[in-house]
Structure 1
Amino acid sequence: MQIRPETPADHAAIRKVTLAAFENMPHSQQTEAAIIDALRAADALTLSLVAEQDGQIIGHVAFSPVLIDDQDHNWLGLGPVSVHPDHQAHGIGSKLIRTALDQITAMGTNGCVLLGEPAYYARFGFRAAPAEGPALVYPGVPAEYFQSLPLNGPALSGTVTYHPAFAAS
């Protein structure tokens, strides 16, 4: 398996993998593929990597800018991340995320946030906001599912806003 940056020739395959990956997920509103398309159209994909095996795209991860208290602090949002159902539970998602985190750290990104399963993302160092004290928050979701990871800068506190493309449907 090879992990590499997406190319224009990968766009349809990324859409297909993303649709398949989220098809039966109860928490999904089935907008993930549209979000990636909208981020790409807005030139807001800071990093977009694919996992390719035997010439086929089997996974994808996207990173885009987020604002904290309406300011750019050089933080990114991780997601969506997708692995085709036929290839899940083989470490592909983990490899995509680890590779991408290494790349955004090398790029000088100060930190990363995501909305996802705490038990899964803890292995990469992501943590939910503490019950008390300063923290990054994302209104409207259970606090334990919104997580952050400082990379090249200090932990911050404030309200996170994702790119408007996340409203795509």
Structure 2
Amino acid sequence: MSRTGEAVDIRAAAAADHDAVAALNRAAFGGEDEVGIVQRLRRDDLVAVELVAVRAEAIIGYILFSWLPTVVDGRAVKTLALAPMAVRPGAQKRGIGGRLMAALDGARGAGAEAVIVLGHPGYYPRFGFSAALASKLASPFSGEAFMALELVPGALAGQAGAVTYPPAFGL
């Protein structure tokens, strides 16, 4: 249930959901960028965990974790990028995003040691994400919106590292 008492189910995304997920991402982000990223990540077989939130048979939330090459002090770290996460406008601020973040358990189950997100610095820290932890990682991104979470304690420990976003991200 969401905070408003509406029944919301979280389940693995299926191929039959692709059009609805694209429509949700367009509505949530106001454009095609995230739609293209998701399509390319699927095409390139980089998806590790992909979930939808469903209410009354309509997809109202979505989260995707994809493999993100990461190295710290010359050591490969099994890392996932969290991108995108979306909740349909009008259904936001009802706990659906928090329910989707339970996908972190799926990320652990996929063998990930860490997760990287470029997201709202007022939202993701409640789930353990830290800009300080990500600050030593060379990336196209920086600042307080670029955050990391260790799923395995010490996974990102070291002096310096780098993440290499796959071409699917269009960077």
Q: TM-score range by the shorter chain?
A: 0.7 to 0.9
How far apart in 2 are the matches of 1:17 and 1:11?
A: 10
Secondary structure of the equivalent of 1:85?
A: coil
C-alpha distance after superposition, 1:97-123 (max 9, x if no partner): 1x1011212333101001011110010
> Using a 3 Å threshold, how does the CA distance of structure 1 residues 30 and 9 change in structure 2: closer, same or farther?
closer
- CA positional deviation for 1:138: 2.1
C-alpha distance after superposition, 1:40-62 (max 9, x if no partner): 11111111100011101111000
Are the equivalent residues in 2 in contact too, given 1:136–1:148 (CA < 8 A)? no
Count of residue pairs brought into register by the alignment: 159
How far apart in 1 are the matches of 2:76 and 2:170?
A: 19
- CA positional deviation for 1:137: 3.6
Q: Give the counterpart of 1:117 among 104, 113, 120.
A: 120
The alignment's C-alpha RMSD in Å is 2.1
> Using a 3 Å threshold, how does the CA distance of structure 1 residues 130 and 52 change in structure 2: closer, same or farther?
closer
> Using a 3 Å threshold, how does the CA distance of structure 1 residues 108 and 17 change in structure 2: closer, same or farther?
same
1:14 alignment counterpart: 21
Are the equivalent residues in 2 in contact too, given 1:137–1:146 (CA < 8 A)? no
Q: Mapping of 1:17-166 within 5 angstroms? A: 17-23=24-30, 30-69=32-71, 72-97=76-101, 99-129=102-132, 135-139=136-140, 141-156=141-156, 157-166=160-169
Give the structure-1-normalised TM-score: 0.86
How far apart in 2 are the matches of 1:31 and 1:5?
A: 22
How far apart in 1 are the matches of 2:53 and 2:14?
A: 12
Secondary structure of the equivalent of 1:86?
A: coil
How far apart in 2 are the matches of 1:14 and 1:72?
A: 32
Secondary structure of the equivalent of 1:93?
A: helix
- In structure 1, stretches of 5+ residues that fail to align are 24-28
Of Structure 1 and Structure 2, the greater helix share is in 1
**Quick one: percent identity of the two aligned structures?**
40
1:26 alignment counterpart: none
How far apart in 2 are the matches of 1:123 and 1:130?
A: 14
How far apart in 1 are the matches of 2:46 and 2:105?
A: 19
- In structure 2, stretches of 5+ residues that fail to align are 1-7
Secondary structure of the equivalent of 2:90?
A: helix
- CA positional deviation for 1:135: 2.3
- CA positional deviation for 1:71: 6.8
How far apart in 2 are the matches of 1:2 and 1:72?
A: 35
